[in-house]
Chain A
Amino acid sequence: GESVGLHLPTLSVQEGDNSIINCAYSNSASDYFIWYKQESGKGPQFIIDIRSNMDKRQGQRVTVLLNKTVKHLSLQIAATQPGDSAVYFCAENHAAQKLVFGQGTRLTINP
């Protein structure tokens, strides 16, 4: 089977509940942040992004919050569904389009 995410932090939530995935980033100069979702056997898929001039951005069932003071990023997923089960990565953008990825969190949705 897929070996991605075997040693990652995990979060389990009940189907229908909301989930919050947290990420601490390292570079106070980063000005662009992205959340990716990686399902087994696939590459990372873009979910939502936010720029450093914003504190909050909402998408469909997802919200990203940015706290620049403590260099913290979170992804909120509302009304979780079985298809939300995946590994979630935050990424921060440095100069020249270089992305630096966080360690990832495995989200499991329990029926």
Chain B
Amino acid sequence: SAVISQKPSRDICQRGTSLTIQCQVDSQVTMMFWYRQQPGQSLTLIATANQGSEATYESGFVIDKFPISRPNLTFSTLTVSNMSPEDSSIYLCSVEGGEGQPQHFGDGTRLSIL
């Protein structure tokens, strides 16, 4: 399966600031996804990062708050904008494993907002 690297692995940020999380894959993949995992919760899909076009956001998530870039088939970024303590979560990148195959996840970015 693909090797997925996320940076940073964790960060502590001040409210009102923004942080960009990077996701790098060691092979070309068509589908990349961004999830949020709030403390003590399960994973919730934020958006699908589409190469060459705007990301597809799930209900409750908007581009102004979570802008996403996907410049090529191996890289994506998620920005958490104008952060508040409620944004303290783990943010996870995943990639498709091929048609009909399971998604594989990076180890996530643990974000705390003071």
Contacts and interface: CB of A to CB of B under 8 A. Distances in A.
Interface in A1-16: 3-8
Contact of B40 (A4, A36, A42, A98): A4
Interface in A76-111: 89, 96-104
Range of interface residues on A (Cβ < 8 Å): 20 to 34
Interface of B: 1, 4, 31, 33, 37, 39-45, 48, 90, 92, 94, 96-97, 100, 102-108
A89 B39 contact: no
B102 A34 contact: yes
15 contacts: A3-B39, A3-B40, A4-B37, A7-B40, A32-B100, A36-B105, A42-B107, A43-B92, A45-B105, A46-B1, A96-B48, A97-B103, A99-B43, A101-B42, A103-B41
Contacts of A3: 39-40
Contacts of B90: 4
Interface string A40-52: 0111111001000
A21 B45 CA distance: 23
Nearest to B103: A99
A44 B39 contact: no
Given A49-B102, A97-B96, A44 B40 contact: no
